[in-house]
Amino acid sequence: MNTDKLNAQIDLANRQLDGNSLDQAAETLRRAACEHPFEFKVHSLLRLVLLRQGDWPGLYAEFERFLDRHPSAQTDWEKSCLSLLFGRMPQGWDQYESRWRTPGIELRSEEHISPQPQWRGDSFVGKTLLLRWEQGLGDAIMFVRYAPMVKALGGQVLLEVVAPLVDVLATCPGIDGIIKDGDPLPPFDLQTPLLSLPRIFRTDLDSIPADIPYLAVPNRVPHRESIDKIMAPTEGLLRIGLVWSGGAKHVRDSERSIPPVVMQPLEALPGVVWHSFQTGHGKEMPFPRIVPMGPVIGGSFSDTAYALSKMDLVITVDTSVAHLAGALGIPTLLLVTTFPDWRWLMGRDDSPWYPTMRIYRQPMPGDWASVIAQVVSDLSSCG
């Protein structure tokens, strides 16, 4: 490797970038990439230039070029997320099956896999199909939407899911029975994981099932009276729910969560009663004038759903609350990173998954201040 030439190319590209000569910077870096195809610094800087240009096809091509030079199960997984991020469906769903052979992905362990055959999308009239959760809470909320489509092809549809989601996901049409993870499973004939359903139904951007709401507030809300008591004094006022931090154990939490101090400009919005939907991690409040909902929603998503139903608007980072608010049809402003999780796509301020959601994106990596400033400006102009 000619290190001196590589450094000179990177220095030149940085000067061109600083001077806003984006086309020239892109050309410099593409030449460098041809000569140094494995160099991450070139890839990273070219990625930034293409991002600032808004060149989504070029950005996708650069990601793919770099990943092609590092073949592995992990690379296959990253390619699947890349395809989905850029809306390349159903190709991305086919690639997404690589998750089962990729180390480090939070999936069900082998001991949870039953011998019943996997469902491939054919008719199962007279049989029972078990839908199984496999990843996070938000994933289960997002993909249970396919239950009505599954039900239309056959007999009984059962759903296995973690305890906090049992009651609220049971409100989804097409679910005949729900089993708490860890409880004995009833007899069933076929099974499929929830996140394989988009592949089975060959989902594309224009065929995403988005009949909102597809979830509802369950009849059983453990802390209904406590929530009503908290809400009573603000009846008739503008209520906005706020989430600025995700779970600390999430692999990208440092990217997706916002320091509380950055949220402070929201306090200037007049006439708003703020409600914090933070539970556990992230309890530090960005400003004093917030009603903490954490003590009454921490144990069950039924409580969360009921409290969200009392909000006029929800402002949240990428967490399970965002998915629940979207599934309930509540107006939601989603705050995401420059390179968000694949489900939020690139280059658009709406979500084909959640029609009542508007997306606010970092203009540059780490720039949350601009995101909050834009939210304040937009909400102020709405009166």
- CA dihedral of 213, 219, 220, 221, whole degrees rounded to 10: 60
Do 3-101 and 114-200 fold alike per CATH?
Answer: no
φ, ψ at 299 (rounded to 5°): -100, -20
Strands 177-180 and 238-243: unpaired
230 Cβ contact partners less than 8 Å away, ≥ 6 residues apart: 291, 293, 296
Quick one: pLDDT at residue 109? 45
- Cα separation of 99 and 276, whole Å? 34
Taking the C-alpha atoms of residue 181 and residue 174, their distance in angstroms, rounded to an integer, is 19
Residue found by looking up tokens 């069933």 in the block: 188
Q: Are 318 and 244 in contact (CB under 8 A)?
A: no
Residue 47's pLDDT is what? 84
The CA–CA distances, whole Å, from 264 to 63, 126, 240, 278, 372 equal 35, 57, 14, 16, 9
The pLDDT value given to residue 281: 56
CATH superfamily of 224-381: Glycogen Phosphorylase B; (3.40.50.2000)
Q: What is the pLDDT of residue 22?
A: 87
**Unique residue bearing structure tokens 């030449």:** 31
Q: What is the pLDDT of residue 275?
A: 96
54-86 pLDDT, tens digit per residue, is 888 888 888 888 888 877 777 888 888 999 999
Across the beta sheet with 272-276, the strand order is 290-292, 272-276, 238-243, 313-317, 332-336, 357-361
Which CATH class, in words, describes the domain spanning 114-200?
Answer: alpha beta
pLDDT the model gives residue 111: 41
AA letter at 303: D
Q: What is the structure's pLDDT at 193?
A: 93
> Which residue positions in the chain have pLDDT lower than 70?
1-2, 104-113, 247-254, 280-283, 383
**Cα–Cα distance between 379 and 157 in angstroms, integer?**
42
Cα gap 12→251, rounded to integer Å = 34
DSSP-derived letter for residue 317 is: E
Its pTM stands at: 0.90
Can you name the CATH fold of 3-101?
1.25.40
pLDDT of residue 110: 43
Alpha-carbon gap, residue 131 to 172, rounded angstroms: 13
Question: Domain segments of the chain: what residues?
Answer: 3-101, 114-200, 224-381
Q: Which two tokens stand for residue 139?
A: 């994933």
DSSP state of 213: -
CB-based contacts of 257, cutoff 8 Å, min separation 6: 244, 245, 246, 282, 317
Residue 221: what pLDDT?
95
Q: DSSP class of residue 61?
A: H
8-32 b/e (C-beta count within 10 Å ≥ 16 → b): ebbeebeebbeeeebebbbebbbeb
3-state helix, strand, coil in the chain (%, to 5): 45, 15, 40
Contact (CB, 8 A) for 99 and 107: yes
Which ranges constitute the DSSP H helices of the chain? 3-18, 22-35, 40-53, 56-68, 73-85, 91-96, 137-143, 147-151, 166-169, 197-200, 224-231, 253-256, 294-297, 301-308, 320-327, 368-381
